[in-house]
Structure 1
Amino acid sequence: MARPVTVVTGGSRGIGAATCLRLAADGHDVVIGYVRDADAAESVARGVRGAGARCAVVPVDTAVEADVERLFDTAERELGAVTGLVNNAAVTGPLGRLTDTGTADLRRVVEVNLLGALLCSRRAARLMAPRGEGAIVNVSSAAATLGSPGEYVHYAATKAAVDALTLGLAKELGPDGVRVNAVAPGAVDTDMHAAMGDPGRARRIGAAVPLGRAARPEEIAAAIAWLLSPDASYTTGAVLRVSGGR
């Protein structure tokens, strides 16, 4: 049987990097989409290839339609028919109240987190639906239902929209044999928190959740891998919360 070919956006770090490595171990060939850190993306690619998988590395800003088209064109040309998509690329902007958040930051968060997921999902659906199979996993956030007041209401709003995208697209594509699900992580110990200006945030929030710690990226990757797998063949339209009980 042909190996599954899965596109992972934001695949050079954090949850995305862990997902690429997990999928390679599970028998997927992987397309790593990344926006700026080519060295980090190549490091993940070495790990993917070390697991015996084929790999393509493609720079892509998911908010740019031409970049998204090139991402999927490269995937199909180099690795074959795309069978899976992980919409993981996302940005938060700086932490703070909505009243203090600049318009440029708001626009970028909406364009990457929502428009990017829409563009990637649309292209994946155009490839998968005629073939009668495929799976999309969106990386949402527990923030979608918590709202994240005082931190990033704008980010939470885009993730709530991703949940709506997941449900609607699952119903739309189900008759075509394409499944669409989401994973909603809570606090995850990645460098995203440092990028938003609070490097200790994951550990601080993690200490307050029922399981008493932040998640490891590999734990989120495991949930994503399950949703892409045949074991989840009757699961679609689900938002799987992986948040330590928060």
Structure 2
Amino acid sequence: MRFWIFLLFVSLIQVAVGQDESSAFAKANSSYTAENYQEAIDSYESILQSGQHSAELYYNLGNSYYKMNQVGPAIYNYEKALQMEPSNDDFQNNLKFAQQLRVDSVEEVQSNPFNEFVTGIFTSLSVDNWAYLSIILALLTVLFFILYHYAATAGKKRLMFVISMIFLLATIFAIVAASYSQQLMDDNQQAIVYSAETITKSEPRASAESSFSIHEGTKVTILEEYENWAKIKVANGSESWMPLSDLKKL
């Protein structure tokens, strides 16, 4: 009896918290609609600080920063939204609009077309979505294998077996895709430049020789970290060091 009372108490708390979060999100949206963009930003950021994350939340926050002409935060939040929903056209289009406000126009180094194709497939879904998909496919594999076991005729057995094998292969592919996507994220820690302008250095110290300037909103890959410095790589292949405080990791 105590267990069920405790379970009911926890459920009521979760419902109350969910309603508060929904109310906070609605309030932030109302501020955005009323063109009170700073108020909307404060509200969205408050929701994030509470531990709640969603693609729509990052997208709306990106829109708010975009309206305030804050290029770095706008691009950062659009990128975060795309990490959760990589194929969302609205996220992609708004990111392109925000990128047009950047000072830096970086031409990307040409990569292997086959690698781009494979990477595009594996990153078409987020890591979490690949994981969810693998679970669903695994359950379907088990279901059709059970149906194969209880099928009354040889023809139905063959059909159920073939379908279960197809779902098994699809499950393996989804697991591999999730693993590969996670590995890409781990090996390619990316960040957005938040400072208006940073003069990068050849070594991780302020007195080192200057390399090149980089501006707010530029996306970089962090290759290495040393104390308060990050060795970064720009899309055109240039590498240098800059303060970690001028970056925000994705």
TM-score (norm 2): 0.30
1 or 2, which has the higher helix percentage? 2
TM-score (norm 1): 0.31
